[in-house]
Amino acid sequence: MKLVTKEKLISWVIKGTPTKTPKQVVGWAINAIYENQRADEKASAVTVYANGIGFTQSDARVGSVTAKQYLQYGEVSDKLFALWTARTKTHTMRLLKYANQLNDIANQKQNETKTKT
């Protein structure tokens, strides 16, 4: 099931959600990806494994900084928000490359919730 799509992510980043501001949406998304990083990758803030889980090598350091900032302050700075929502060479937001992973994470959490009830 598609709980997180690129279209929904764009809308959330622009308008926010009923419970999150756009800066909180970016923080939530990056933190969810960060949580999927392996422990050694989190500790070093680099991507070591090309397993399609977590950040790309080019995003590992800034992803770690963003997740830690979100966890500490509940949202991300203007600078980090701009970085994740800026258009890339392919004319899409940098954050959108993680839409499929975010959908997988959302589905997993939904399934965990269903099995608990």
pLDDT at position 97 over 80: yes
Interatomic CA distance for residues 82 and 26, integer angstroms: 10
Identity of residue 96: L
Check whether 31 has a pLDDT greater than 90. Answer: yes
Number of structural domains (the chain) is 1
For all residues of the chain together, what is the average pLDDT?
90
d(CA 24, CA 66): 11
The answer to which of 6-10, 25-29, 87-91 has the lowest mean pLDDT is 87-91
In a domain, 33, yes or no: yes
Residues 48, 40 contacting (CB under 8 angstroms): yes
- Residue 82: which domain range? 6-116
Residue 1 lies in a domain: no
- Show the tokens assigned to 97: 């490359």
Residues 6 or more apart in contact with residue 114 via CB below 8 angstroms: none
pLDDT at 116 over 80: no
On the question of pLDDT at 117 being above 70, the answer is no
- Report if pTM > 0.85: yes
> Tens of pLDDT along 60-83?
999 999 999 999 999 999 999 999
Which DSSP string do the residues of 78-111 spell out, in sequence order? HHHHHHHHSB-TTSSBGGGGGHHHHHHHHHHHHH
| Residue 23 within any structural domain of the chain | yes
